[in-house]
Amino acid sequence: MPRPVSCLIKPASSRCNLNCTYCFYLEKQAIYPWSTNPTMSLDTFRLFLDQYARLCAPHLTFAWQGGEPTMMGLDWFQQVVEAQIRAGQHDNLLEQMVLGRASVCMLAPSCGYVVLEHNGDCYPCDFFVEREWKLGNIHETPLETMLEGERFRAFARMKPAHHPQCQSCEWFSLCYGECPRYRFIGNGAAEHQLSYFCPSYKRFFPHAHKRLRRTAETVARDAGLAGAPLQVPVGALH
């Protein structure tokens, strides 16, 4: 595999007991109707975890979303946490600076992680849980086959299709053009477009980089990597 892949798990699909007006995932009930009470079984999670760990360990990153994942109940989560308790989490900007990579795709050179829906369906991004982007089902198709398949590769190719301004941006090595979803905003396309948040990043990185670098140096020292070169964007040298 070209890089570690993070996973985003949707144990209750889009089901939710709230009514947030900004939630984009509620519309996914058109694919997974609430009338069927979508609920992930522990067998489905364990099947996915077994394959995910074999492919990506030790770089395992879990995120839980919905809908509202806590609708699954405390007992359910106690059992799944026992299964993933050995997995470590990293702050991705610091990981990018210390190791030169980010396990979450928003800051990585290419995008695409694994969204696990309640029934085992997998997608490359929760912004793109759409029938045309379905990778397969973990009960029917091995995870490795999905991640090596053309659909996942095609999705990953969207992010490297940068806007010309990205190529000369002094902070490019910290965001790589950011999430393609935010390129769609106002543009209607992901390729060769600027992210909606590009102006914000250009204000944030100069403001925070020195403090982030000091923290990254501490993290590297504590990890026994003292003296290792950090990922330093051009802007940090000015």
Structure-block tokens of residue 108: 């990585």
Distance CA 90, CA 79 (A): 23
Catalytically active residues, by annotation:
126
CA dist 7 → 64, 70, 123 (Å): 9, 17, 10
- Cα radius of gyration (the chain): 19
For residue 14, count CB atoms less than 10 angstroms from its CB and return exposed for 0-12, middle for 13-18, buried for 19 or more: buried
Burial letters for 17-29: b for 16+ Cβ neighbours within 10 Å, e otherwise?
eeeeeeeebbebb
Helices then strands, each counted (H, E), the chain: 9, 5
CB 37 within 8 A of CB 118: no
